[in-house]
Amino acid sequence: MKVADRLAAMPTPALLLEESRMLANIDRLRERTARLGVALRPHLKTAKSIEVARRLLAEGNGPAAVSTLREAEMFFAAGVRDILYAVGIAPEKLPRVAALRSAGCELSVILDSTDQADAVVEASRAAASPIPALIEIDCDGHRGGIGPEDDALIRIGCQLSEGAELRGVMAHAGESYGAVGEEAQAEFAERERAVAVRAATRLRDAGLRCPVVSVGSTPTALAARNLAGVTEIRAGVSTFFDLFMAGIGVCATDDIALSVLTTVIGHQRSRGWILVDAGWMAMSRDRGTANQAVDQGYGVVCDAEGRVIPDLILASANQEHGIVTVRPGSRATLPDFRIGARLRILPNHACATASQFDAYDVIPAEGGKALARWERFGGW
């Protein structure tokens, strides 16, 4: 069955992945990091898919970053060995970390307090094997991390060096998501770099080894101009991109590799509404573009082939109902789709929309090949 026929027959809602766009996005990030002379540690939290990881990881076995221990376990089982668990470690999670490490996974953790360092030291002793940890450095007040000048930095560094393994420092410029345009994002990238390098320098000046300086977010990874002192860069959503990233100028709408295939199930013509079977259960409740210059509702509507229909958005969503309308203020006329017609919706946030599905229906990069189905997983 041809891809177009298969798409026409597929149950909806379904999560479509255009492999050619994904591969182009992966190439773009690879070229960027190669030019900057740093290693690339893709974040697998967006895709949560073995098949995507195989295409994303140069050698197929890492390095990679994850956001849950379940991701670490699943990707390790699939052959990924060098994994950074990039969420502040909780003491109760250390037995799972130790179990993965004793099975041969090169798993490292992050932390930003002496209490967490105590727990990592204790778990290292219990496992009779030092657990590598990076100290999280705060570069923009986004969420976790200590400042590069914080007194605790050296204390934590000493704790880890003595009782576990001080692997390095890491920073994440989460506030770069609010920076519009490459110039503004490059400033966040420079701050992320400078702060991480400063923390590494302080640790080294205190006589501690600090081999890894890890930074990254999709906007800063793609906008950074100079990464002197940095050893690796992380990025996640750049694999698929989404409307949020398009809204801050990091990608074009046509770079977005994910969409939700949906079916028209009704009309309310007097109100200018088309009802579709993609509600928030399919799109997620993410309204990340609500505060951007252009509010995309729950997503931008495309035709069945993926071409954007100008000014048509998924304006609101119930659990299994989406309401498609012309964007407020636009003079476009509402198209008249028959009941049963197929549309695609580009998502606000790839991580959130993908997490609503168990699998990607993959439109293959090579024409003529059959549609593939790549499983994805959730949970913790």
Decide if 247 contacts 227 (C-beta within 8 A): no
For residue 99, what are the contacts with CB-CB under 8 A and spacing of at least 6? none
Q: Among 56-64, 212-220, 275-283, 304-312, which window interacts with a copy of itself (CB under 8 A)?
A: 275-283
Task: For residue 340, count CB atoms less than 10 angstroms from its CB and return exposed for 0-12, middle for 13-18, buried for 19 or more.
Answer: exposed
Q: How far is the CB of 149 from a copy of itself (least distance, A)?
A: 13
Structure tokens, 265: 């199930």
| Interacting residues with a copy of itself between 8 and 27 (CB under 8 A) | 9, 11-14
Q: Among 6-14, 98-106, 154-162, 205-213, which window interacts with a copy of itself (CB under 8 A)?
A: 6-14
Determine the angle formed by the axes of helices 114-127 and 152-163, rounding to 10 degrees. 0
9 phi and psi angles, rounded to 5 deg: -100, -10
In this chain, which of 25, 61, 108, 116 binds a copy of itself, going by CB under 8 A? 116
In this chain, which of 30, 55, 267, 327 binds a copy of itself, going by CB under 8 A? 267
Amino acid letter, residue 17: L
User: Could you give the string, one character per residue 320-359, with x where binding to a copy of itself holds by CB under 8 A and - elsewhere?
Assistant: xx-x--------------xxx--------x-xx--xxxx-
Quick one: 20 or 114, whose CB is closer to a copy of itself? 114
3-class secondary-structure state, position 201: helix
C-alpha radius of gyration, the chain, whole number: 22
Sign of CA dihedral 20, 21, 23, 24: positive
Q: How far is the CB of 254 from a copy of itself (least distance, A)?
A: 25
In this chain, which of 128, 271, 305, 366 binds a copy of itself, going by CB under 8 A? 271
- 277 is an interface residue for a copy of itself by CB under 8 A: yes
- 285 is an interface residue for a copy of itself by CB under 8 A: yes
Distance, in Å, from the CA atom of 286 to the CA atom of 292, rounded to the nearest integer, reads 13
For 198, the enclosing helix (H) or strand (E) is helix 182-205
Q: How far is the CB of 199 from a copy of itself (least distance, A)?
A: 16
Q: How far is the CB of 90 from a copy of itself (least distance, A)?
A: 5
User: Could you give the string, one character per residue 233-262, with x where binding to a copy of itself holds by CB under 8 A and - elsewhere?
Assistant: ------------------------------
Quick one: 124 or 356, whose CB is closer to a copy of itself? 356
| Interacting residues with a copy of itself between 71 and 100 (CB under 8 A) | 87-93, 96
Decide if 256 contacts 346 (C-beta within 8 A): yes
**Number of neighbouring beta carbons within 10 Å of residue 295:** 17
Structure tokens, 275: 């009802």
The neighbouring-strand residues paired with 83 are 64, 107
Q: Nearest 5°: CA angle at 45, between 316 and 128?
A: 150
Q: How far is the CB of 323 from a copy of itself (least distance, A)?
A: 6
Determine the angle formed by the axes of helices 94-102 and 114-127, rounding to 10 degrees. 40
Q: How far is the CB of 299 from a copy of itself (least distance, A)?
A: 13
| Interacting residues with a copy of itself between 289 and 308 (CB under 8 A) | none
Which residue ranges make up the site for a copy of itself (CB under 8 A)? 9, 11-14, 45, 67-69, 87-93, 96, 112-113, 115-116, 119, 138, 141, 143-144, 174, 263-268, 271, 273, 275, 277, 280-282, 284-287, 318-321, 323, 338-340, 349, 351-352, 355-358, 378-380
